[in-house]
Every structure is written in C-alpha cells, then in structure tokens.
C-alpha cells in the first residue's frame, strides 16, 4: 500500500497573541496507515520561514505540503487561491522586520496559484457542515510570504509536489478579547483532516461556484 508523505507547516504566535491556532491544529493531526505525517512550527519571520521550510522539504521529501496560518477576524476556514510577490507588512514580524512594498522573491512571477484541489476541499468541508470559502487574498504579511515561497519552491524544484495554504480563524479564547469571529479547535482540526483527505483522493475537481462579486 503506497504511503503519502505529508508536511504540515504552522506558525508560532505573533502580533501580541500567546497562541496560534494553526500550530494547535497541526499538533493535533495524526498519521494513518496511508499517511506519513510531519509537522513543523515556523517562525513568523520574513525570509527565515522560507529557509526553514526549504530545509525541511529537502530532508523530508513530501508529496504534499499544506501550510496553515492564523487570520484573526475571519469567520471560516479560508482556502487560499493565490499568493502574490509582495511584502507589505502592517506590523513587524517576530524579529522586528517590517518590509514594505518589496518582493518576496526578486525575479519570480507576480503571483502563483495554489496547487491544491480547492474545490474538492471546499465540497468536503461543506458536506460536513464546516464553514469554509475560497479566499482570493492571503494578505501581504508572513502568511502570503510563506505561501508564495512554498509555491515558488515546488514549482521550480519539486514540480510533482502539491502544495498550498489554508488560513484559520481565531480560537474562542482569542476572539473574546477582540470581539472577533472564532471557531473551535475541534472543528478546525476536523476541517484540516478533511482537506488532507481531499488532497490525497484521486478524483476530479467538482464544478462548484465559489467566486466573489467584489
């Protein structure tokens, strides 16, 4: 029975928070007979997160990379469609860097599209009643930086690897301090499990309208 090698990345806490739901989700995932799972916690630091990611991809040799990150203020799981070659940090990263209007990677394309089956993932989530959508912006902070760097890495060096990014909302204990939407850890973890399963299925993408009007 073939075993898929799956790398899940998550981020440390940032922006004054003491926890990051992406890391708690990742640490709650479990391997199966068909999945060899590796989890890595990345620093919320421009450039450094890409170096750490590249080292782990080289050593682990994954078939699939799913990157997770926190999007406080969002109310559902956000399956990110596109990453842009722009850093424009509203707040400093965890080492005090605050790049503004710079490229993630000089000379790289303006944007990369996700290499995950987003519509299949979305259908799996909706079929189980988990709030989710396809997002057309991953921001211009470290999450977009990582997504762009990941997609550049696999596009140029590991063309058979699938990869992409999912943003998750605040946990309830975070949201109560901000008056923001939240989602339980259990629901988010189940959602990422469903996304992982959808990525490993050998099935066509469903025809599913998931765009935006504005």
Catalytic residues: 80, 143, 167
In Å, what is the CA distance from 145 to each residue of 1, 37, 53, 86, 141? 36, 23, 12, 8, 6
Indicate the SS3 state at residue 63: coil
Strand ranges for the chain from DSSP E: 4-11, 35-42, 64-70, 77-80, 82-84, 87-88, 100-102, 111-113, 132-135, 162-168
């Amino acid at each position: 029975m073939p075993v898929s090698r799956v790398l899940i990345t998550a981020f440390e806490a940032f922006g004054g928070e003491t926890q990051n739901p992406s890391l708690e989700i990742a640490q709650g995932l479990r391997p199966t007979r068909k999945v060899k799972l590796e989890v890595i916690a990345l620093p919320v630091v421009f450039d450094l997160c890409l170096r750490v990611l590249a080292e782990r991809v080289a050593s682990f040799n994954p078939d699939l990379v799913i990157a997770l990150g926190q999007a406080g203020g969002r109310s559902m799981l956000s399956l990110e469609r596109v990453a842009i070659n722009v850093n424009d940090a509203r707040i400093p990263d965890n080492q005090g860097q605050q790049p503004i209007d710079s490229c993630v990677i000089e000379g790289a394309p303006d944007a990369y599209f996700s290499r995950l089956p987003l519509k299949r993932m979305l259908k799996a989530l909706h079929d189980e009643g988990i709030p989710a959508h396809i997002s057309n912006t991953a921001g211009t902070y470290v999450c977009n930086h990582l997504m762009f760097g990941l997609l550049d890495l696999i596009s140029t060096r590991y063309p058979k690897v699938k990869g992409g990014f999912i943003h998750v909302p605040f946990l309830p204990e975070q949201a109560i301090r901000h008056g923001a939407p939240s989602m339980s850890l259990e629901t988010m973890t189940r959602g990422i499990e469903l996304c992982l399963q959808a990525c490993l299925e050998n099935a066509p993408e469903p025809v599913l309208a998931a765009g935006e009007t504005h």
